[in-house]
Structure 1
Amino acid sequence: MRYDKGHKDDTRRHILDVASTRFRKSGIAAVGLAGIMSEAGLTNGAFYTHFASKEELVREVLNDALTRREERHKANLENGIALETTIRDYLSTRHRDRAGTGCPTAALVAEIARHPKATRDAFTGKVADIISLMAEQIRQGSAKERRRKAIAIYSTMVGALQLARAVNDRELSDEILEDAAETAVTIASES
C-alpha cells in the first residue's frame, strides 16, 4: 500500500502525542508500547518503523514536550509577559488537574532520574534552557543572582505541582499551589 507524502512523519507525530499524554498521566514505567500503539490505532510492529526502542521514544517525548514548554517561555519573554503570570499559570488548579497535557518535568522527573545517561542528558539540556529563559524574565540582580532565583523558582514550581497532585485533600492541594505561587513570585521580585 502506498501512502501520501508526509504519512510517516504524521504517524510518528501521532505516536509521540499519544505516548506523551500517557507517560505524563500514568508514568513511563506503567505504560507499555502495546498500549501506546493500540491507542494510536497502530500495530505493535509499526512502532519499530519509527523508533528503535521505548527509551528512544521516551527521549523524543521529553525533547518534544520540553521544547514546547520552552517555546511558551520564549513567547512570554518576547511578548513582555511577566514571570508572575507564568508562575501563576503553572501553579493553577487547571494545570494540576491535567497531568496528561501538563509539564513533563513535574509529571516525570522522579522517573527520569532512573533512566540512562542519554535520556538524562536530553532532559538536563532542556531544563537548563528553561531555567535560562526564566532568568531572563527576572529583571533585578546580576546574571548569577537571576539564575539562582530562576532555579529556586522552577524547583518550587515543579515540586509544588507534584505535591499538589499527590495529596488527596483538595483543600490542602489548593493551599500548596497558592502558597508556592506566592513564594515563587516573591523570589522573582526580590532585589
Structure 2
Amino acid sequence: MRYATDHKQQTREKLLSSSGALAKRGGFAATGVAGLMKAIGLTGGAFYNHFPSKDDLFSEIVRRELANSPLARLVERGTDRARLKRLLDQYLSLAHLHNAEGGCPLPPLGVEIARAERPVREQAEHWLLELHQAWSETLDDPDLAWALLSQCVGALVVGRMLASEPVQAQVLDASRKLVEQVFDEVR
C-alpha cells in the first residue's frame, strides 16, 4: 500500500501535537517512545522515521509550544499596558489552570526544560528573552518584567500543585491582585 506524499508530514504533525499534549499532561520524561507512538496509533519503531531521538522530539515540542503559548501573544512589540493586564488576567484564571494541555508550556514543562540538554534550554531562553524585552518596553521596567513573568508562571505551578479548587482560586486571586497593584503603581 502506498501512502500519500504528505503522509510522513501528517504523521509528524500528529506526533508533535499528541506528544506536546502528553508532555504537558503527564511529563515528557515519564512517557516512552512506545507510549508516544501508541497515542497516534503507530508502533515505537516508526518513531525514528520522524525524529533521530526522543531528545530531538522534545526540542521540537518546546519550540512549538513556546511559539503557541498564551504568553506568545505578549511578545508583540507595542503591546499596551491595558492589553498586557487583560492577557495576564486570562493567564491567571482557573480555566487556564485546568487546561495544562492547551495552556502555557512553562508551568508543566519548566522543570523538564531545566533538565534538558543545553540546546533546548537555549531555545527556551531565547524565547523568554524576547518576551522579557517586549514586557520591559510595555512596562518601562526590565526588573518588573521578570518579576511579573515569574509571578504568573509560579502562580500556575503552585495552583496546579493544590488539590482543591477553592485554594487554587485563592492563589490565582492573590496573584491577580498583585498584578493589579503593580499596574496601578506603574501608571
Q: Judging changes above 3 Å, is the alpha-carbon distance between structure 1 residues 125 and 189 closer, same or farther for their aligned structure 2 residues?
A: farther
Residue 11 (structure 2) aligns with: 11
CA contact (8 A) 1:76 1:82 kept: no
CA contact (8 A) 1:157 1:180 kept: yes
Give, in angstroms, the shift of residue 79 of structure 1. 9.1
Where in structure 1 are there 5+ consecutive unaligned residues? none
Residue 111 (structure 2) aligns with: 110
Partner Cα distance (2:119, 2:74) in 1: 25
Q: 1:123-146 CA distances to partner (integer Å, 9 max, x unpaired)?
A: 1112222222333433xx3xxx2x
Residue 82 (structure 1) aligns with: 83
Where in structure 2 are there 5+ consecutive unaligned residues? none
TM-score (norm 1): 0.87
Runs of 4+ in 1 over 6 A off after TM superposition: 78-81
Instruction: Select which of 171, 176, 181 maps to 1:181.
Output: 176
Give, in angstroms, the shift of residue 109 of structure 1. 0.8
Partner Cα distance (2:179, 2:170) in 1: 14
Partner Cα distance (1:150, 1:104) in 2: 19
Give, in angstroms, the shift of residue 7 of structure 1. 2.0
SS in 1 for 2:116: coil
Aligned residues: percent identity?
A: 30
Give, in angstroms, the shift of residue 186 of structure 1. 2.6
Residue 161 (structure 1) aligns with: 156
How many residue pairs are counted as aligned between the two chains?
185
Partner Cα distance (2:106, 2:143) in 1: 19
CA contact (8 A) 1:82 1:137 kept: no
1:5-154 matches, cutoff 5 A: 5-69=5-69, 71-74=72-75, 82-138=83-139, 141=140, 145=141, 147-154=142-149
